[in-house]
């Protein structure tokens, strides 16, 4: 299923999260939020300022849209929130060796 950002509604920062609307499979619009924690910790936002959060969102757009596609079947009334658990990879420092 293809997932892309709706061109008429660009991503915006609202209360410290980036909100965007994705077109899922060419038919369904779904609104998502990406937390500032994700954008700082996983996508390297320089700060929690709106401009830095949006820049990190742009850099991570492909991975964010992939996570959105995975979460699209989550039953919700309105907005799906993408948090740190939706992203894993080389920037994830939650494991340590003894």
Alpha helices, DSSP H only, in the chain?
Answer: 36-41, 50-59, 61-71
Confirm whether 96 is domain-assigned: no
Q: For position 48, which CATH number holds? A: 3.30.160.140
Q: pTM of the full predicted structure? A: 0.82
Going by C-alpha positions, the residue among 87, 74, 88, 86 that lies closest to residue 31 is 74
Confirm whether 94 is domain-assigned: no
Structural domains in the chain (count): 1
pLDDT band per the 50, 70, 90 thresholds, residue 2: confident
Instruction: Determine the Cα–Cα distance for residues 24 and 2; give it in Å rounded to an integer.
Output: 6
| Structural domain of 30 | 3-84
14-73: pLDDT as tens digits = 999 999 999 887 777 889 999 999 999 999 999 999 999 999 999 999 999 999 998 877
């Amino acid at each position: 299923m293809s997932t892309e950002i709706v061109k008429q509604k660009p991503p915006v920062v609202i209360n410290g999260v980036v909100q965007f609307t994705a077109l899922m499979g060419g038919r369904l619009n779904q609104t998502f939020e990406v937390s500032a924690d994700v954008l700082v910790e996983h996508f390297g936002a320089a700060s929690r300022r709106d401009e830095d959060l949006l820049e990190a969102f742009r850099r991570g757009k492909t991975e964010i849209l992939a996570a959105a596609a995975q979460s699209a079947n989550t039953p919700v009334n309105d907005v799906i929130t993408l948090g740190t658990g939706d992203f894993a990879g080389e920037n994830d420092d939650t494991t340590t060796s003894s």
